[in-house]
Chains A and B, each alone.
Chain A
Amino acid sequence: MTTTIEHAQAAPTPPWHRRAIERARRRGIDVRTLPTGAAGIILAVMLVYGEIAYGQVLQASTLSNLLINNAHFVILAVGLSFVILAGGIDLSVGAVIAVSSVAGVMLVGAGWPTPLAIAAMIGIGTAFGTASGVLVQHFGVQPFIATLAMMFLARGLASMLSTTPQRLPDDSSFRLLGEPWKLIDGPRVNDLMASAGLVVAVVVVVVAAIVLQRTRFGRTVYAIGGSESSAALMGLRVPRTKLAIYVISGTLAGVAAVVYTARLGTAQNITGMGWELTAIAAVVIGGTLLTGGYGYVVGSVIGALVLGLMTVLITRDGGVPPEMTTIITGGILFVFVMLQRAVVRRRR
C-alpha cells in the first residue's frame, strides 16, 4: 500500500494534506507557520470586532491592560510550549503556581527580603519541574501521570501551608513588580502602560523563541516531538532534553507565580485551579500540535492573548451571563481547532 511511502515522504513536513502543502509552497509560505498565522489573523479579527461592537478596544490603555493582566498566563503558556513541542504534557503548572505564590507571600510576611522570596518561589517551581522530569525520564512514568502526581502534591502542599487567602504587606517591595508604569500619558485614562511583570514576560518569550529556533537544544526539542526514537538514533541528547523541558516548564510556572502574585498582592491555595488546561488550550489555539513536533512560541502567546481578550470582550458585552463563559471558552477552542483543520487539512 502507498500509505507507508507517503509517510516516509511526509516526514520532514507536517502530516497535513499534501494539496494544502503544495498550495502553500506555490505561494512561498512555510506550511508550518499556517496554523499560527491563522491564530494571529483570528486575534486581529477579534480585536477589530471588539472595537466595532463595543468601542475603546484598539486603544493604548485597553491593550496595555490586556498585556499586563495576562503576563503570567503568557509565561505559563511559553513553559508548556516546550513540553508540548517535545510531545509531553505538564498538568502541574496551575498547582505549582498555587504552592509557589502561597509560600512566597508567607515568606515575605515572615520578613524575608523580596529578592530571596522571589528566588524561593522560582526555586519551588524548578523543584516540581525537576521531580516531574526525573519521574518521566528516569523511571519511565507517563508524562500525564507524573505531572498529575506533581499537580496533586503541589495542590496538597499549598493547602497544608494555608487554606485562607494570604496578603502581601502593603509596603512590601514585592508589589512594585506588579505596579503599572505610565510610558505615555495619554488623554484622560488612555495611557500606554507596562509593568515589570510584562517586561519579564517579554524577555521570557524572546529568550524561549531564540532557544527553540536557534539552538541545538531547541532543535532537539522539536526532534523529540517528531519522533523520539529517531532523535535518539540521530545521537541527539534525548534524556537530558526530556528532563530539561520539565525543569523549564516548572521554573516558568514559578516565574508566572511571581508575576501573578506581585500584580494581585494576594495568594491562595486554590489559585490556578484548572489553569493547566486553559494554558494547554492557549498552546493549541496558537497552532502547536498536541502530539508534538510542530508549533511556535509566538503561537502560544497569541493563544494566551486570544483567551484573555475573550474575557475582556465578554465583560464589555455585559449581556453574557457569567455561567456562559466556560461554554464560550470551549466553543472558541473548538472553533480554532476546526479552523486550523480547514486551513491545513490533516491527512487521515
Chain B
Amino acid sequence: MTATTTRERLGALASTPLVWGLVAIVVLLAINSLRDPGYLGVELAESGRLTGNPIDILRTAAPLLMIALGMTLVVATGGIDLSVGSAMVIGGAVSMEMLQAGDGSVGSAMAALGMALLITAVLGAINGLLVAFVGLQPFITTLVTMLAGRGLAKVITEGQNTSASNEAFRWIANGTVLGAPVVFLIALAILVIVVVLVRTTALGMLIESIGIDPKASRMAGIDRRSLLVAVYVISGVLGGVAGVFATGSVMTVDVSNTGLLLELDAILAVVVGGTALTGGRFSLAGAAIGALLIATLDKTVVFLGVSSAATPAFKAVVIVALCLLQSATIRERLSRVRLRAPRREVTA
C-alpha cells in the first residue's frame, strides 16, 4: 500500500516539468563538481562579499529571471513577447545616455532608472494596445516592436555603445548586501512581489482564463483588453529592469548585442518551467527555475572549456531532453518500465 503511494507520488512528481528543471540543474552542478570538487564552494571574501560559482550563477540569472517572469504572464494569456530583448537594450541605452549626461549622483541614477522603466513601459503599452485593441497577432506585433525597438536603441545612442560612470547605478548590478549580490536580491524581491500579486488575488486566474478561452472570459465579464495591456506593460518594464541589470554590470550598452536573442532564452525558461505556449495555466516558480537552469548551463559550458559560441548546441540538447521527458509518448514507455520494476525485484 505504502509502496504504491510512494510510487504514485514519484509519478506525480515526475510529471511536473518544474522537477525536471531542478534535476537538470543538479546534474549540471554535479558534472562541474566532478571536474572541480570545490566548484560549489562559496567563500566570504575580505571585502565582505560572497564569492563562488553559485553566486556567479545567481548573478547571471537575474536579467533572464526578470524577462522570463514577464514572458510567463504574456504566454499565459496565449500571447508571446518577442520584444523583451529590445526592451532590454532600450532600457540600457536610455539609462546610459541619462547617466552620461548626469553628474554621477544618486539622484541622476534614480532619474536614469525611472526613465528607462518609463520608456520600456511605453514599449510594452504599444504591444498591449496593438494586441488588445487593434487585434493584431502577438507574434507579429512584438516582432515589429522587436525590430523597431533595437533600431530605436541605436537611434538613442546614435549608433554608439555608450558608457557612463555612476557608483549608485553600478551598485544595482555589482553591489552586495550582507555579502549577497544586490542584483539577485532585487530579482528575488520582484519575483516574490509578482507571485504575491498574481497568486493571492484573482489576477492570476483572470490571466489564465484569457489564455484558456478568450471568448468565455469575455462573456464572464472579464476586462480582457485592460488585462492584456497590463500584462504587456509588465513584460516591457521587466525587460527594462533586465536591461539595467545587464548594462549596469559593465556600465556600457552594446546596442547591437545587449539582450540580442534573449527573448528566445526567456521563452525557453518559460517552457522549461511548465507553461505551455498555448496559454492558460502558468508557473512563475517554474520560469524562475528555467532561468536558473539556463544560467547554470551557460556557466557550465564555459567552465568545461567549450567555446561560448557553441553554447546554443548544449541548450538544444537540454531542450530536447526535457521536451522528450515531458512528451506523452516517452512517458508512456517509462511508466511501462516502472510497472514492471517491482516484479523484477521479486525474482531477484
Contacts and interface: CB of A to CB of B under 8 A. Distances in A.
Contacts, number: 141
Nearest to B324: A139
B150 A326 contact: yes
A145 interface: yes
Contacts of B148: 326-327, 329-331, 334
B78 to A, nearest CB: 12
A209 interface: no
A138 B324 CA distance: 10
A182 to B, nearest CB: 36
A326 B312 contact: no
Contacts of A155: 312-313
Contacts of A324: 151, 155
A139 B152 contact: no
Determine which residue in B135, B155, B271, B319 has the highest number of CB atoms from chain A within 10 A of its CB, and name it: B319
A159 B155 contact: no
B304 interface: no
Contact of A138 (B146, B152, B155, B329): B329
B327 interface: yes
A243 to B, nearest CB: 14
B151 A291 contact: no
Given A323-B151, A326-B150, A290 B140 contact: yes
Interface residues on B, range: 35 or more
B320 interface: yes
A324 B264 CA distance: 24
Contact of A337 (B136, B307, B316): B136
A150 interface: yes
Interface in A30-56: none
Contact of A145 (B136, B277, B310, B317): B277
Contact of A135 (B146, B309, B320): B320
Contacts of B309: 156, 159, 163, 269
A44 to B, nearest CB: 23
Contacts of B134: 338, 341
B307 A163 contact: yes
A25 to B, nearest CB: 24
B147 interface: yes
Interface string A143-166: 011101111110111011001000
A325 B314 CA distance: 33
B147 A144 contact: no
A348 interface: yes
Interface string B291-333: 0000000000000000101111111110110011001111000
Contact of A148 (B137, B144, B268, B313): B268
Interface string B135-165: 1110110011111111110110011000000
A321 B154 CA distance: 10
Interface residues on A, range: 35 or more
Interface string B246-279: 0000000001000001001001100100001110
Contacts of B140: 284, 290, 333, 337
A144 B139 CA distance: 11
A329 B147 CA distance: 7
A277 interface: yes
A348 B135 contact: yes
A12 interface: no
Contacts of B82: 277
Interface in A112-164: 135, 138-142, 144-146, 148-153, 155-157, 159-160, 163
A157 B159 contact: no
A159 B147 contact: no
Contacts of B150: 326
Interface of A is mostly: helix
B313 A140 contact: no
A140 B319 contact: no
Contact of A157 (B135, B268, B313, B327): B313
B147 A326 contact: yes
A311 to B, nearest CB: 13
Contact of A334 (B144, B276, B311): B144
A156 B147 contact: no
A152 B278 contact: no
Given A156-B310, A160-B310, A148 B267 contact: yes
Contacts of B324: 139
Contacts of A329: 147-148, 151
B323 A135 contact: yes
Given A331-B148, A337-B136, A348-B135, A323 B313 contact: no
B316 A291 contact: no
Contacts of A144: 80, 267, 277
A280 interface: yes
Nearest to B330: A139
A322 interface: yes
A149 B329 contact: no
Nearest to B315: A152
A333 B143 contact: yes
Contacts of A153: 312-313, 316-317, 320
Contacts of B310: 156-157, 159-160
Given A277-B146, A281-B143, A326-B151, 10 more contacts: A3-B215, A144-B267, A145-B268, A152-B316, A153-B316, A156-B312, A159-B309, A269-B309, A322-B159, A341-B135
5 contacts: A159-B307, A280-B143, A322-B159, A323-B158, A324-B151
Interface of A: 3, 91, 95, 135, 138-142, 144-146, 148-153, 155-157, 159-160, 163, 269, 273-274, 277, 280-281, 284, 290-291, 321-331, 333-334, 337-338, 341, 346, 348
